[in-house]
Copies of this chain bind each other. A is one copy, B any other.
């Protein structure tokens, strides 16, 4: 029985509680520097947020010699990164991959990400990320993030204490034909889903030991802008008071996405709005994005996000089939659950069903999914679940015919998950975004370049302004193809924001 299987709804209940009482009280409109009568404080680099993007920026800026102030709107540091699995998607031959006996190249990693990230992804960011991934993983190790050299082939966020696994869609078709698969999920090596906490404990400790000033319960409210458009600082709120903080070299917005700003989600990402389990730290209210937009920043991919429904573990369920309202399969069921969730939420109008037989059933009690029908024959199941006349029978007849031979002509599911659905009882599980356990997190945000500089709609840098993490439209897109791309993007481009801001003019391209 899986710990993961039973804990998710409780986790959700906890999140809902955490967001209660948070209201949008800010005003994102920029403040003209000439209207600032008093600077309450001055620093070189001001970082808004305290997740993995913010801390990575702060560390690099400090290492580059800048005085750094980091502010967090909530009482506790860590952001959504601390709640996450803490996976960093890394490859190209990291020390951990090599220690575990895997070969990988930056090219294969690039082909995997670029070739499976929807149409026209940001290739410059993907290229930079892959080329420097080995170095980036070494950097995480150097910051004190605890990894070990053990690999697991379990298809799920590691529940043991291994640090390396296949965290994404690498082995699913057609991804496995586009690039040589390698395990690239790098996760702190501690038992249970505590990777995010471990990651952030290390990064926050490092931030503190380097002399970054950290201030909680302090929220960014308005960017302060010079008459020539340059960002000069930030007006922040702490308690009932407002303070004007000058940032000599730059402001880094790394204060999360907007999944908990429900109006904003409904307006921009309706497919995510309908998902049952908004996922993210309570501070994910879109404030960083709003402040950027207010000074003319362009946003990208605001409708996108991850929509994840964890039909595994156990892997046995992957021998079931997933069908749409027409009773048709539309995906190989061994897809990474972010890819499966995307297909349902964005391309099947939020509705799907998992059909299992006795062999592919969950095998333990779980409360993530509701069984809408159970029957001794496929025909009875189809009628009870309400599929169009004859459709499910037709689908399963075709599927079973080839599955018996270890083949899946439609979606090429890996043969180890292929077996005819033949052992009653047969069950139809509701995978709809509203009724199943379906987590959602936003990916849309400010448009930045590979130096994490915030761009306007002409592609011009808004001077003095940097951003990273889910405040930004980064590597994670819909479909979300691997765990670790989001925190990986946060840490990688967070670092670049810190370097660029400390240099006060952007690092070289």
Contact = CB atoms under 8 A, between A and B. Distances in A.
Interface of A: 27-30, 32, 118-120, 227, 229, 264, 266-268, 270-271, 273-274, 286, 289-290, 293-303, 326-330, 346-347, 350, 388-391, 394, 398, 401-402, 409-411, 447, 456-458, 460
26 contacts: A28-B458, A29-B229, A29-B456, A29-B458, A30-B296, A32-B227, A118-B270, A119-B270, A119-B273, A119-B274, A264-B457, A267-B447, A289-B457, A290-B457, A294-B456, A294-B457, A300-B302, A301-B303, A326-B330, A327-B410, A346-B347, A388-B409, A390-B398, A391-B410, A394-B394, A394-B398
A2 to B, nearest CB: 31
A508 to B, nearest CB: 24
A185 to B, nearest CB: 26
A296 B296 contact: yes
Among all A-B residue pairs, the 8 with the closest Cβ atoms: A119-B270, A388-B409, A120-B270, A290-B457, A293-B457, A347-B347, A326-B410, A389-B409
A460 to B, nearest CB: 8
Nearest to A30: B296
A71 B27 CA distance: 34
B27 A458 contact: yes
A271 B447 CA distance: 19
Contacts of A346: 347
A438 B187 CA distance: 45
Nearest to A389: B409
Contacts of A29: 229, 296, 456, 458, 460
A445 to B, nearest CB: 12
Nearest to A328: B328
A29 B462 CA distance: 11
B295 A296 contact: yes
A324 B53 CA distance: 40
B296 A293 contact: yes
A347 B391 CA distance: 21
A247 B273 CA distance: 40
A209 B271 CA distance: 47
Nearest to A412: B388
A210 to B, nearest CB: 34
Given A120-B270, A273-B120, A326-B410, A28 B300 contact: no
A404 to B, nearest CB: 13
A402 B390 CA distance: 10
A119 B296 contact: no
Contacts of A293: 293, 296-298, 456-457
A396 to B, nearest CB: 11
A410 B398 contact: no
Contacts of A328: 328, 330
A289 to B, nearest CB: 7
Contacts of A409: 388-391
Contacts of A391: 398, 409-410
Among A27, A328, A329, A391, max chain B CB count under 10 A is at A328
A326 B410 CA distance: 5
Contacts of A120: 266-267, 270, 273
A30 B30 CA distance: 14
Contact of A302 (B119, B302, B389): B302
A187 to B, nearest CB: 31
A285 to B, nearest CB: 12
A277 B478 CA distance: 25
Nearest to A289: B457
Contacts of A457: 28, 264, 286, 289-290, 293-294
Contacts of A302: 299-300, 302
Nearest to A27: B458
Contacts of A227: 32
